[in-house]
Structure 1
Amino acid sequence: MAFYRPDPAMEARLASVLDRLDAEGRPGLRNSLSVTWVRYEETAPQAGQGSGAAWNEQRVHYPASVVKLVYAVAVEQWLQKDLIPDSDELQRAMRDMIGDSSNDATGLIVDLLTGTTSGPELDALGWPSWQRQRRLVNDWLTTLGWPELDGSNCCQKTWSDGPYGRDKLFYGADNGNRNALSTAATARLLEAVMTGAVVSPPACRRLRDLLDRSLDPDQRKADPENQVDGFLGEGLPDGFRLWSKAGWMSQARHDAVWCQSQAPDSSPVLIVAFATGPDRAKDETLMPELARALTAITE
């Protein structure tokens, strides 16, 4: 059962939008796209109060940098349980991991969360223990009991050039152990953060501050890697606020957004879209057009 109420009108609207986007020069779009779209009636909703529609939302994808949202929430969980010490360096890494999507910062955070480090291949004595430790984030996700998380895998660092040594071995010969998330899993986690429904309300407020993105054109121009242009945020109407985490690499263009008009009595919209394949990764207009279509009817 979905964490939102299925809405037939939204389902029809989403199907129409996908048909149009496919017809505009993206043949086979449905085979390479997953979407979870949720709308809320309350200005400050609680988790589970939305109505929505989806396409392929349980299909797991390589999430690219969207997995950093999971690691950020895990950090707050670990801090709450005194499993890791807080520090200025940890907070700097959190800001850089979410705000700038830094892979180096993510590497530090994965090391802290799991008590592991990268390096050469390990001997037969140390290797099983290292693998168990690297799966600690997955173990925590299991405790949440969310069916949307079935098939998720969040145990790998993110890379610029790729893994080496023990990290490469941990991926498996066919990369079968690489990170994996669905849009449903990502959407439920983002909703929990934005509604204060995971870890604690103060932790969620800190996470929301990290996810807050400027839609100001001058600020975006000054930061070419702003995670707005070429993604869902670019398609939002004027006067919206945006909280998001994007992911992009040669085979993927993903985004997870919570957005809300600043007009009085407005209610938020949640959209998570994962597009896979080289053509989708290069398509800088797909995500903005999808957001433009799915937010237009909420005004």
Structure 2
Amino acid sequence: MFVTGTPAWQDLGTALVAEVQAAVPGAAADDVALVLVQRGAGGRPEGFVHRGAEPIYPCSLVKAFHLVHALSALDEGRAEAHGELDRAMRDMILWSSNTATNYVIDILTGTTGDTLLDGAEYLDWMSKRERLNRFFWRMGWPDWEGCRIAQKLMDDTRYGREARFAAEGGGNLNRLTALAAARLMWELFEGDLPLSPPARGRAQAILSRDPAGPDAARPEYQLSEYLGGALPSGVQVWSKAGHNLWTGDAATSWFKHDMIRITAPNRAPLLAVLMTTGEHFAAGPASVFPEFGAKIWERVAAMA
């Protein structure tokens, strides 16, 4: 685990988990995974972790991982730069487009999807799609344990080879841990990723959110109903969220997540990852995530 805890962070985080659980009738502590990270002594990551190593269906959080992978592929010449890829990388983050994400996945893996395949052809296709996992396995992060992101993003259930691949091994759906999401954001801004400086800057720019901008209230912008939706003026925000209601598949239904980096003048940057499970969160009051994000920001300031 890349985050070091302290008694102060433990006290703060434990209280916050209890409060977000209490804010949603029917919620239990096991419905929440929370990771908070800030630079500590010597620049090392310090913070709080609750169920951070639990693999959870991640919805659209995987799109931030595909963005980093795509920019690395462009750096290394494994993908060719073109306008449609630029547009897809932007739209899969800006509007959380599943269609854009699946285009990026096809570019990274040299595959297409849906129709049935068999035998060697199917095994070759599956191996190519596993490139999405292998890229992050090579990072050597302990926080990646239990994660997989090789499935495409669907607005409802899956068919053909996509359904077969998702079911391989008794259940091969996407999974992320809150620690892996926090690790990606930490390495992108504070640490080391296989990205050139221009590519790193481009990833950061694509993940940026403008709380005062014209798109801030749009649900597709994934800010107003998430952790960044009620922060004070003057903050800077980078984030990627995910939200599934009923999809037709119980394994991919009723999740709401956010991974966010927040900073402001005279404040150390704060990373927060909140992953929630269950209809009471996913279909609950839209105010829960924004109020909780503001509470985290205030409480961390008071702890300093």
Per mean C-alpha deviation after superposition, the further-off stretch among 2-11 and 150-159 is: 2-11
1:31 matches 2:30: yes
Following superposition, the deviation at residue 127 of structure 1 comes to: 0.7
Following superposition, the deviation at residue 161 of structure 1 comes to: 2.5
Per mean C-alpha deviation after superposition, the further-off stretch among 195-204 and 208-217 is: 195-204
Give the Cα separation in 2 of the matches to 1:239 and 1:185. 28
Per mean C-alpha deviation after superposition, the further-off stretch among 180-189 and 26-35 is: 26-35
Give the Cα separation in 1 of the matches to 2:228 and 2:169. 34
Corresponding letter in the other structure for 2:258: D
Corresponding residue for 1:254?
A: 257
Corresponding residue for 2:299?
A: 297
* TM-superposition CA deviations, 1:41-67 (whole Å, max 9, x none): 59xx96xx2210011000010000000
Corresponding letter in the other structure for 1:212: S
Corresponding residue for 1:208?
A: 204
Which one of 80, 90, 96 corresponds to residue 75 of structure 2? 80
> How many residue pairs get matched?
291
Per mean C-alpha deviation after superposition, the further-off stretch among 104-113 and 154-163 is: 154-163
Give the Cα separation in 2 of the matches to 1:188 and 1:235. 24
Corresponding residue for 1:12?
A: 11
* TM-superposition CA deviations, 1:71-107 (whole Å, max 9, x none): 1111012112211111111110000011110010011
Give the Cα separation in 1 of the matches to 2:242 and 2:50. 19
Tell me the secondary structure at the aligned position of residue 162 of structure 1. coil
Tell me the secondary structure at the aligned position of residue 297 of structure 1. helix
Tell me the secondary structure at the aligned position of residue 17 of structure 1. helix
Any runs of at least 4 consecutive aligned residues in structure 1 with deviations exceeding 6 A, and if so which? none
Corresponding residue for 2:167?
A: 172
Following superposition, the deviation at residue 291 of structure 1 comes to: 1.4
1:238 matches 2:233: yes
Tell me the secondary structure at the aligned position of residue 159 of structure 1. coil
Corresponding residue for 1:279?
A: 280
Give the Cα separation in 2 of the matches to 1:226 and 1:130. 33
Give the gaps of 5 or more residues in structure 2: 246-253
1:268 matches 2:269: yes
Corresponding residue for 2:215?
A: 219
Give the Cα separation in 1 of the matches to 2:169 and 2:130. 19
Q: Decide whether aligned partners of structure 1 residues 36 and 25 sit closer, same or farther in structure 2, where only a CA change above 3 A counts.
A: closer
Q: Decide whether aligned partners of structure 1 residues 118 and 79 sit closer, same or farther in structure 2, where only a CA change above 3 A counts.
A: same
* TM-superposition CA deviations, 1:88-130 (whole Å, max 9, x none): 1111000001111001001111111111101310132301101
Following superposition, the deviation at residue 175 of structure 1 comes to: 7.0
Q: TM-score scaled by structure 1?
A: 0.92
Tell me the secondary structure at the aligned position of residue 219 of structure 1. coil
Give the Cα separation in 2 of the matches to 1:78 and 1:272. 26
Give the Cα separation in 2 of the matches to 1:206 and 1:136. 22
Corresponding letter in the other structure for 2:269: P
Corresponding residue for 1:157?
A: 152
Q: Decide whether aligned partners of structure 1 residues 25 and 64 sit closer, same or farther in structure 2, where only a CA change above 3 A counts.
A: closer
* TM-superposition CA deviations, 1:189-234 (whole Å, max 9, x none): 111112262122321110000001010175323x232211111011
Q: Does the aligned pair in 2 maintain the 1:196–1:204 contact within 8 Å?
A: no
Q: Does the aligned pair in 2 maintain the 1:41–1:267 contact within 8 Å?
A: no
Corresponding residue for 1:102?
A: 97
1:126 matches 2:121: yes
Give the Cα separation in 2 of the matches to 1:24 and 1:104. 34
Corresponding letter in the other structure for 2:234: G
Per mean C-alpha deviation after superposition, the further-off stretch among 25-34 and 53-62 is: 25-34
Tell me the secondary structure at the aligned position of residue 96 of structure 2. coil
Following superposition, the deviation at residue 142 of structure 1 comes to: 1.0
Corresponding letter in the other structure for 2:186: E
Q: TM-score scaled by structure 2?
A: 0.90
Tell me the secondary structure at the aligned position of residue 235 of structure 1. coil
Tell me the secondary structure at the aligned position of residue 275 of structure 1. strand
Give the Cα separation in 2 of the matches to 1:63 and 1:135. 17
The percentage of aligned residue pairs carrying the same residue is 30
* TM-superposition CA deviations, 1:243-278 (whole Å, max 9, x none): 0000001111000000101x2x32100000100111
Give the Cα separation in 2 of the matches to 1:184 and 1:230. 22
Give the Cα separation in 2 of the matches to 1:175 and 1:205. 39
Give the Cα separation in 1 of the matches to 2:202 and 2:143. 24
